[in-house]
Amino acid sequence: MMTASHTNQIIFATIFVGLATIALFNIYPLLDIEITSYFALGNRRFVFLDISIIEQLRSLTMGIYVSWYAAIIFALIVSMTRKMKIAGFAARDWFYVVMCSAIGPAILANLVFKTYSGRARPRNIEEFGGIFDFTPVANWSSECSDNCSFVSGEVSSMVMLFAPLIFICTKRRWILVAAMFIFGGLSSLMRIGQGGHFTSDCIMAGVFMVLTAAILYKIFYPSRMMPSTP
C-alpha cells in the first residue's frame, strides 16, 4: 500500500512540477510556440495531422479509454453486488478508480479547464495560420469558447489509466509508473504533432491527473494516512 509519507511526497513533487511548468512557460512564453514549430508545416498544417496511421492510433486509444471506463464501472458493480474482489481489488478500490476517472479527465480536464480556460489550440493561433492570439499557459482568455487547448483531455485520460493503480497496487508499481510516463508521453507527442495542444497543456494534464489521484487516495483510504504506532 501507499503510505502517508509517500503520498505526501508525490503531492508535493507534483505541485512543484506544476508550478515550475507554469513559471517556465510564463517567463519564456515563446517556448510553447518554439516547440510546436518543430511540428508545423505552415498554414495550420502539422506533421501528424490527417496521417492515416496516426488517426487510427488515436481512434485506438479512444477505444481503450471507453473500454477501460466500461470495465471499471462493471468491476465496481460486480464487486459491490456480489461482495467479492475483482482482479484482487475490493469494491472500495474500484470505486476509487472510477472516481479518479470521473473527477480527473471527465470533470476537471474536459468540463472545467477545456471549457473555461479560453486558450486557443496551436493550429488556431496566428503563428500557425489561424486567427486567434496565443495565450501563455494558466492565463485565462477569451480566444477559445469551447473545447479549448488547456489541458489535453486525451493525455489526461491516458495518464489516469495508470495513476490510480499506482496508488493501490502493491507489487511492481514501477512498471505502472513507467507505463504512465511512456504512454502519456506518446499521447502528448501525437497531440502536439497534430497541432491540437501545446507542450505545457500536456505536462499540466499529467500534473492535474496525478494530483487528483493522490488527493482522492488520501480521502478514500484515511486509515492508511494515519502514522504507524511504534
Q: Which position has the grid cell 511512456?
A: 182
Instruction: Report the C-alpha gap between 69 and 81 in whole angstroms.
Output: 18
Cα–Cα distance, 61 to 72 (Å, whole number): 16
Q: What is the pLDDT of residues 168-194, one digit of tens each?
A: 998 889 999 999 999 999 999 999 999
The pLDDT of residue 50 = 82
Backbone angles phi, psi at 2, to 5 degrees: -85, 125
Q: pTM above the 0.85 mark?
A: yes
> What's phi and psi for 120, nearest 5 deg?
-70, 150
d(CA 103, CA 51): 32
d(C-alpha 56, C-alpha 48), whole Å: 12
Coil, strand, or helix at residue 7?
A: helix
pLDDT in tens, 81-117: 999 999 999 999 999 999 999 999 999 999 999 999 9
List the beta bridge partners of residue 152: none
For 62-81, the pLDDT digits (tens) are: 999 999 999 999 999 999 99
